[in-house]
Chain A
């Protein structure tokens, strides 16, 4: 039972991957349209990706806490 709960905690990682892909797709689109703005877009993309990744990290931390109590 507990292992199922731990596995469910890692579910955010899947959605996190999906949303990161979406963000990258939009960023690539924007760079293709406006190559001169690539520097700004890259930094914003990095920032957004790191913030998005936090959602999966929260699940990961909770899973860790459940595993190694």
Chain B
């Protein structure tokens, strides 16, 4: 009795497969019989039936092997759960460990590039060197467009933050909880951006100049300007955090709805919810940080 769904889905797969192959065989006769358009359409329909059948077959096979899906209560914790092991009496959270892993991969990749790739740079670039040069040039032009006075230090900053956030997106795609879905991580990034803006502002135009630019329209607005500046890192942190965690919640809902049939569909939805939004937010984060720094360093126009 419980084998019925599996058998039915395999029959659907066979039906779709036969539909595609039979139509392929009739290729020569197509000029006389049906028009090419309907034949193509029928082939497509056959493919779709085949894919749906495979999906159903995988789902029912999983049900056969592991039993029916038990629905758990859907919970999302804003504070990520702690891991089992402890380091010197301190228990790191789940997202921290994933973040360390991403950092380790990035650092190892950077060291490998430094040792094996940089000494081999030549004037006649190969394919890989061309790609690297294109990326570096794109980032340099992006950073120097937005912060004109600062130049070199900004390139490194932009590239580091960008690679870290992209690495988080990839880690989430692989099934871990993304570090950006931890408020502490995003807050750390945005506080760092805030400190950097102030540091460069004070370096470039002394403490007096920085304070003077804050009370630009009238000195009466100074407290409001200071509050606006202080609220900026919080808003950046909440933006990144909210986007990542909303994607995570949607994916968790999808998994819990699909149950045993969660083969293939979440990977396509994840491309949008985990990767596309994360990439957009990376660009937004970098642009906002750079514009903050630019605002702090350049003389405001009167």
Residues of A bordering B, CB below 8 Å: 46-47, 50-51, 53-54, 57-58, 60-61, 64-65, 68
The answer to whether B280 and A46 have CB atoms under 8 Å apart is yes
Q: At the interface, yes or no: B245 with Cβ under 8 Å from chain A?
A: yes
B287 CB contacts on chain A under 8 angstroms? 47
B71-79, B132-140, B146-154 - interface stretch: B71-79
The answer to whether B77 and A50 have CB atoms under 8 Å apart is no
B53-61, B110-118, B206-214, B233-241 - interface stretch: B233-241
User: Would A57 and B242 be within 8 Å (CB), given that A65-B78, A68-B77, A68-B78 are in contact?
Assistant: yes
The answer to whether A54 and B280 have CB atoms under 8 Å apart is no
Taken together as a complex, chains A and B put the C-alpha atoms of A57 and B241 apart, in Å, by: 9
DSSP class of A's interface residues: helix, strand, loop or mixed?
A: helix
A40 CB, nearest partner CB in chain B, Å:
13
Closest to B246 in A: A60
The answer to whether B284 and A61 have CB atoms under 8 Å apart is no
Task: Out of B75, B78, B235, name the residue touching A54 (CB < 8 Å).
Answer: B235
Taken together as a complex, chains A and B put the C-alpha atoms of A57 and B245 apart, in Å, by: 10
Query: B250-288 CB contact bits vs A (8 Å, 1 = yes)?
Result: 000000000000000000000000000000110110010
B77 CB contacts on chain A under 8 angstroms? 68
The answer to whether A57 and B284 have CB atoms under 8 Å apart is no
Task: Out of B235, B243, B245, name the residue touching A64 (CB < 8 Å).
Answer: B245
A64 CB, nearest partner CB in chain B, Å:
6
Closest to B284 in A: A50
A46 CB contacts on chain B under 8 angstroms? 280, 283
Closest to A69 in B: B78
Taken together as a complex, chains A and B put the C-alpha atoms of A54 and B280 apart, in Å, by: 12
Taken together as a complex, chains A and B put the C-alpha atoms of A58 and B284 apart, in Å, by: 16
Closest to B288 in A: A51
B241 CB contacts on chain A under 8 angstroms? 61
Q: List 24 A-B contacts (CB under 8 A).
A: A46-B280, A47-B283, A47-B284, A47-B287, A50-B281, A50-B283, A54-B235, A54-B238, A54-B239, A54-B242, A57-B239, A57-B243, A58-B235, A58-B238, A58-B242, A60-B246, A61-B238, A61-B241, A61-B242, A64-B245, A65-B78, A68-B76, A68-B77, A68-B78
